[in-house]
């Protein structure tokens, strides 16, 4: 069977019944197909084109996932409408980039890309990057070529229809931030050009304070990048797209390094380094904005369902925004944001779902016992309910489970324990800290009141940690120094 937009859901499921679970994994809307009666009525009437529009899942993603499942089950991949054309486009794009890699100039390659434009989408440009990495081209080399290949695509990409998204949509918020940052970057570029002389004292006095303010504001783009890295990129990975994310993240880190260098130069009044690094920095930020607006965001809009956008939106407030307050009005077509499923596709079986993810009982036990902490939890009735058993500082044994916490302390300290618990229950205090020295070790002991979302007292968490080594730390050791 050829997978195209006219294939009826019922015909598909009659031939391959296992696809019900595949479809449900793609979108919760497909759960209706689990009902035999609805399957016969909806499935007979609805084709893949209708299913794509109903769920907000792009046809290319829907058909690709179905073909992947059939290939996995049968060992043979069905023909998919448009897939061969897309592969051909990607191969032609890769050829253009390989020729750049081999020394061809951007001007030579622009004409080739212009011929491709009528049938190339932003997502295919992103797939081209990912395919180059899969073929063995190092990510660093793809990153290096990124600026060059955007030059090749620039004129043609700008001719495409501009994005139109409603206020409040995650892309709309990203675009608002880009407008604000672009204005700052243009102003900074103008000032830096005036410093290139090298500057005299009068010029420095004229621009020094404004540059400080300007780059402090520009540095707030960090939240924009954090939302991309922690909200947008995971959603791309759910759709099997990881190459462009890796390349962009590496460029984010370059921008962070340049930002740090410019801020340091401003503090020390080393305006020679500020000028050199500053011009490179504002150029890198401008180029990234261009790539977002013309490649990343269009690709995401082509690829994501409303449920994907709901998850992108849901965690954004916690990270924060760059120089703007998001507008309101957008609500995903699938309903209230709160109804978006908490789990991400590909997260596996996790029967214990928490606010920010899910774990199996085994994983939860391993995670807690891998923390360099001695943890004990006492419930709202003052009974010991749990303790960790890997990083012990104070002795514990299974016999204390269910025991009144007052009976777990020597008589001389019971009254203090009760005072702490009473202050937590009344809401007077939320924590209590103590520290002791024993056998040359410095022990930090903390008690936390555990409350639910309505502020009701649920118990007390005791956390003890041996911090002798932590107190002795000096300087810094970064992840890349490992």
- Are residues 116 and 74 part of one domain? no
Look at residues 158, 188, 219 and tell me which one is the last residue of a structural domain.
158
User: How many CB atoms sit inside 10 A of residue 447's CB?
Assistant: 22
Q: How far apart are CA 113 and CA 149, in angstroms?
A: 10
- Are residues 229 and 312 part of one domain? yes
Q: How far apart are CA 404 and CA 384, in angstroms?
A: 6
User: How many CB atoms sit inside 10 A of residue 204's CB?
Assistant: 16
Helix (H) or strand (E) holding 463: strand 457-466
Look at residues 94, 125, 158 and tell me which one is the last residue of a structural domain.
158
Domain assignment of residue 104, given as a range: 84-158
Predicted structure pTM score: 0.61
Q: Which residue has the tokens 């689990």?
A: 34
Q: Is the peptide bond before 3 cis (omega within 30 degrees of 0)?
A: no
- From residue 254, give the alpha-carbon distance in Å to each of 73, 282, 289, 449: 43, 12, 15, 42
Token code pair at residue 465: 């940690």
347 in any annotated domain: no
What residues contact 333, with CB distance under 8 A and at least 6 apart? 56, 306
392 in any annotated domain: yes
Residue of 373, 410, 412 lying closest to 389 (CA atoms)? 373
- Are residues 319 and 216 part of one domain? yes
Cβ pair 191, 211 in contact under 8 A = yes
- Are residues 180 and 103 part of one domain? no
54 in any annotated domain: yes
478 in any annotated domain: no
137 in any annotated domain: yes
354 in any annotated domain: no
- Are residues 236 and 295 part of one domain? yes
Q: What is the phi-psi region of residue 402: left when phi exceeds 0, alpha when psi lies from -120 to 50, beta otherwise?
A: left
Backbone angles phi, psi at 239, to 5 degrees: -100, 15
With residues binned 3-state (H G I as helix, E B as strand, rest as coil), the percentages for the chain, rounded to 5, are: 60, 10, 25
- Are residues 177 and 154 part of one domain? no
- Are residues 465 and 388 part of one domain? yes
- Are residues 89 and 74 part of one domain? no
- Are residues 101 and 185 part of one domain? no
Cβ pair 429, 423 in contact under 8 A = yes
Question: What CATH number is attached to the domain comprising 465?
Answer: 3.30.450.20
Give the model's pLDDT for residue 295: 81
108 in any annotated domain: yes
Give the model's pLDDT for residue 148: 55
Mean pLDDT in runs of 10 for the chain (482 residues)? 75 82 78 69 66 74 79 78 57 69 66 55 64 70 60 56 85 96 94 73 76 93 95 86 84 94 90 89 92 86 86 89 94 57 52 79 90 94 92 84 88 90 96 92 95 95 94 86 78
Question: What CATH number is attached to the domain comprising 234?
Answer: 1.20.120.520
- Are residues 189 and 224 part of one domain? yes
- Are residues 121 and 96 part of one domain? yes
Check residue 464 and report its DSSP letter: E
Give the model's pLDDT for residue 160: 59
Q: How many residues can be counted in the chain?
A: 482
Give the model's pLDDT for residue 177: 97
Token code pair at residue 333: 């077509």
294 in any annotated domain: yes
Look at residues 32, 56, 81 and tell me which one is the last residue of a structural domain.
81
- Are residues 129 and 69 part of one domain? no
Total count of domains within the chain: 4
Long-range contacts of 390-399 (CB under 8 A, 24+ apart): 393/443, 393/464, 393/465, 393/466, 394/464
Give the model's pLDDT for residue 367: 92
Give the model's pLDDT for residue 88: 64
């Amino acid at each position: 069977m050829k997978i195209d937009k006219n294939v009826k859901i019922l015909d598909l499921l009659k031939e391959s019944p296992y696809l019900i679970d595949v479809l449900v994994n793609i979108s919760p809307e497909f759960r209706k197909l689990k009902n035999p009666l609805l399957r016969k009525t909806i499935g007979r009437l609805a084709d893949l084109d209708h299913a794509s529009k109903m769920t907000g899942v792009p046809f290319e993603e829907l058909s690709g996932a179905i073909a992947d499942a059939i290939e996995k089950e049968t060992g043979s991949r069905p023909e998919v409408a448009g897939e061969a054309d897309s592969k051909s486009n990607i191969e032609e794009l890769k050829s253009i980039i390989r020729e750049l890699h081999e020394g061809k100039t951007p001007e030579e390659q622009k004409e080739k890309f212009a011929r491709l434009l009528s049938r190339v989408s932003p997502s295919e440009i992103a797939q081209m990057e990912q395919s180059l990495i899969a073929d063995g081209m190092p990510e660093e080399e793809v990153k290096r070529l990124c600026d060059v290949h955007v030059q090749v695509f620039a004129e043609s990409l700008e001719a495409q229809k501009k994005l139109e998204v409603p206020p409040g949509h995650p892309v709309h918020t990203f675009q608002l931030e880009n407008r604000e940052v672009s204005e700052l970057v243009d102003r900074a570029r103008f000032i830096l050009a005036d410093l290139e002389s090298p500057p005299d004292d009068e010029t420095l006095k004229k621009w020094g304070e404004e540059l400080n303010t300007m780059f402090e504001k520009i540095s707030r783009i960090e939240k924009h990048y954090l939302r991309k890295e922690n909200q947008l990129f995971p959603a791309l990975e759910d759709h099997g797209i990881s190459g462009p994310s890796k390349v962009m993240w590496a460029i984010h880190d370059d921008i962070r390094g340049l930002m740090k260098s410019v801020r340091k130069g401003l503090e020390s009044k080393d305006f020679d380094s500020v000028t050199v690094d500053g011009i490179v920095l504002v150029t890198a930020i401008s180029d990234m904005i261009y790539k977002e607006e013309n490649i990343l965001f269009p690709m995401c809009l082509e690829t994501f369902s409303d449920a994907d956008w709901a998850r992108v939106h849901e965690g954004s407030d916690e990270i924060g925004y760059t120089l703007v307050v998001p507008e309101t009005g957008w609500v995903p077509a699938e309903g209230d944001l709160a109804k978006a499923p908490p789990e991400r596709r590909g997260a596996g079986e996790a029967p214990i779902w928490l606010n920010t993810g899910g774990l199996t009982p085994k994983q939860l036990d391993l995670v807690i016992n891998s923390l360099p902490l001695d943890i004990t939890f006492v419930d709202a009735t003052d009974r010991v309910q749990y303790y960790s058993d890997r990083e012990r500082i104070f002795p514990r044994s299974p016999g204390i489970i269910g025991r009144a916490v007052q009976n777990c302390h020597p008589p001389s300290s019971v009254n203090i324990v009760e005072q702490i618990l009473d202050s937590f229950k009344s809401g007077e205090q939320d924590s209590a800290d103590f520290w002791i020295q024993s056998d040359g070790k410095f022990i930090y002991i903390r008690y936390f009141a555990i409350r639910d979302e309505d502020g009701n007292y649920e118990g007390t968490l005791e956390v003890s940690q041996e911090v002798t080594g932590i107190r002795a730390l000096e300087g810094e050791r970064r992840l890349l120094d490992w």
